[in-house]
């Protein structure tokens, strides 16, 4: 929470859940996060994820060519990860 970028914090602090809880800054949220009821904590997480996802989609729309590169790189990484997992599975069978 303390490491949220300022632009995300600006969006987050004006969300309904943060206004309802009357948090003034990131530190207040961090200090109280362990005492929040589970539904409130989940709502905070979902709100933050929604903001993050919206910002990501805005970035994609603004820079589709960069997203295409990102997607290509992600696919390559996923394929390599699957290959390594298969090798690891084989190694476990040998033990």
Q: Where are the domains of the chain?
A: 1-62, 64-95
Question: What is residue 1's predicted lDDT score, i.e. its pLDDT?
Answer: 65
| N residues, the chain | 95
Q: Could you list the mean pLDDT of each consecutive 10-residue stretch along the chain, which spans 95 residues?
A: 78 83 79 85 89 86 81 83 86 72
pLDDT at 95: 54
DSSP per position, 9-76: HHHHHTSHHHHHHT--SHHHHHHHGGGS-HHHHHHHHHHHHHHHHHHHHHHHHH-HHHHHHHHHHHHH
Q: What local confidence, expressed as pLDDT, does residue 74 receive?
A: 83
Please state whether the predicted TM-score (pTM) of the whole model is above 0.85.
no
Residue 51: its pLDDT value, please?
92
Q: Which two tokens stand for residue 79?
A: 């394929």
């Amino acid at each position: 929470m303390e490491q949220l970028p300022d632009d995300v914090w600006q969006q987050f602090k004006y969300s309904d859940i943060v206004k309802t809880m009357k948090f003034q800054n990131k530190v207040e949220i961090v200090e109280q996060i362990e005492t929040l009821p589970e539904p409130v904590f989940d709502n905070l997480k979902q709100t933050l994820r929604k903001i993050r996802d919206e910002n990501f989609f805005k970035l994609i729309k603004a820079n589709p060519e960069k997203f295409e590169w990102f997607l290509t790189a992600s696919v390559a990484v996923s394929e390599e990860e699957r290959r390594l997992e298969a090798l690891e599975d084989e190694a476990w069978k040998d033990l």
